[in-house]
Every structure is written in C-alpha cells, then in structure tokens.
Chain A
C-alpha cells in the first residue's frame, strides 16, 4: 500500500511495570485536549496469561483549511479510534495497535507501539513506534498523506508528554503512599513487642 511510513525508537527511564500502569492512566492529560472520550470495550486474560484489551477513543477531527474546503462533510463527525493491545508478562512487552474506524477513506492512520522492558536494564523501557498513513482519495492522496504524517508527528510528541505526565503522577502518588505506610510500620512495631513473635512458614 503506497503511503507514508513513520518509525521511531526511544528509551525512557521508567520501569516497564510503571510504564504499563501509566499506559491505562494517560487520559486525560494536559496534552490530550483533542481526545474527547475513552472507553474500554473488551478485556480478557488468556490461558497463557496475556491481557488483551480494546479501547475506543474519540478525537476531534482537526483538518487544515484547504481540506476543510474540499471535504466540508468531514467536519461533522469526530474521529473514532480503536486501540487494541496485548500485555505479555512472559516477554515483558505491551504491543498496541491503533487505527481510525471512520474517515478511513479520507485518511487511514495505523500506529503500532511496542513497550519493551529489558531484563538487564530494569529501569529503562524501550518504546518503538511505527505508523502508516494512507489515503484513498483520488488525486489528493499525496497532500492528505503529508498532512496526516505531520499531524501524526505532532500527536506523537503529545502522546509521549502525556505518558510522561501519567508516569510522574504515578511516581508522586507512590511516594505519598510509601510515606503513609512507613508511619503505619512504626506504629505496628511499637505494639508488637507485647505480642507473640510471628511465625513465617
């Protein structure tokens, strides 16, 4: 399929488990004002302990002025996007595939992301992002694809910032919890002196 292809690879300094937890928490964030709704449609843990999920997102349909003139009907509806993902604990990966299910003839953007945790570098997660942008509009596919790729690049930056925002919130929240539980541990220790020593099998 002729179209535009995008590929990027980044390492971020966060443990894979945190990145995965943040993956579900990234909306809303200050960079995602174009994301209007988010819903989980489906979830399943497979017998081999992989987690399958499907989410539905609606996003605003922001087109450049020239496209608005050519495709006036397009303005009416938001873009509906499906995000399917597989979490595989065994090989420490989360793979997500995202694509729009409407406005697809105008432009179809398919994005695949892989979040990979590496055994020998536990505080780093590698993020591989790949996208394919294509248009089925006769005679205008090239400018539409160019626009699509440019918008994808800009969205990609927002997506990373959004993920980092969610990660930072998670880290702040867990710091608070650890503070609380440290207090609880202190109290427990002081009362346990009068109790029998616990036996751990």
Chain B
C-alpha cells in the first residue's frame, strides 16, 4: 500500500512490518514491554507530515474520535 507521501512508502513498510509483529506477538498477548518501533515510526512520521503539509491535507487540530461526540446518544 502506498503512502500519501510518494517518498515515504518504504519507510511506511518498515514501520508497518515492525508494528504488525509487535501487535500480534506482544500487545495482543498482554506483554507490556516497550514498543520497539518508535525509531522507525519517527522517521516515517517526519516524512508523512512533510507530505501532508505540501498537499494541504486538513488534519491539523482534528480531535481524536472527534465526530463521536455527536453520535454518543445514538
């Protein structure tokens, strides 16, 4: 799968691989040892944030689970 930043796809793949392994082998089994993917994420994240700014993607300040507030009563 491609990243929104054309030059970030390889960094994304490396991070995804690390995360998927950690998720299945550690997190889901209740293992709380430190996440080994933070360095990879940082490199990838820096790249993606640059692409987001360049493409003017409106995600700045969007609250986590934002629209959920309105749907809480449903």
Contacts and interface: CB of A to CB of B under 8 A. Distances in A.
A complexed with B: yes
Which interface residue of B1, B35, B70 has the most chain A CB atoms within 10 A?
B1
B20 A21 contact: yes
Looking at B15, B16, B59, the one whose CB has the most chain A CB atoms below 10 A away is B59
Given A37-B4, A80-B59, A54 B64 contact: yes
Contacts of A39: 3-5, 8, 12, 48
A114 to B, nearest CB: 12
Nearest to B70: A1
Interface residues of A, number: 38
A49 B16 CA distance: 20
A17 B28 contact: yes
Contacts of B64: 52, 54, 84
Interface string B31-74: 01001000001001100100010000111001011111011001
A110 interface: yes
B59 to A, nearest CB: 6
On chain B, which size bracket covers the interface? Answer: 35 or more
A112 B58 contact: no
B28 A20 contact: yes
Interface of B: 1-5, 8, 12, 15-16, 19-20, 23-24, 27-28, 30, 32, 35, 41, 44-45, 48, 52, 57-59, 62, 64-68, 70-71, 74
A97 B67 contact: yes
B53 to A, nearest CB: 13
Contacts, number: 91
Interface in A1-51: 1, 5, 17, 20-21, 24-25, 27-28, 35-41, 43, 45, 49, 51
Interface centre among B8, B15, B44, B57, by most chain A C-beta atoms within 10 angstroms, is B57
A148 B51 CA distance: 29
Interface of A: 1, 5, 17, 20-21, 24-25, 27-28, 35-41, 43, 45, 49, 51-52, 54, 56, 58, 80, 82, 84, 86-87, 89, 97, 99, 101-102, 110, 112, 130, 132
B42 to A, nearest CB: 12
Smallest CB-CB A-B distances: 8 pairs = A37-B4, A110-B67, A38-B1, A27-B1, A84-B65, A37-B2, A21-B24, A97-B65
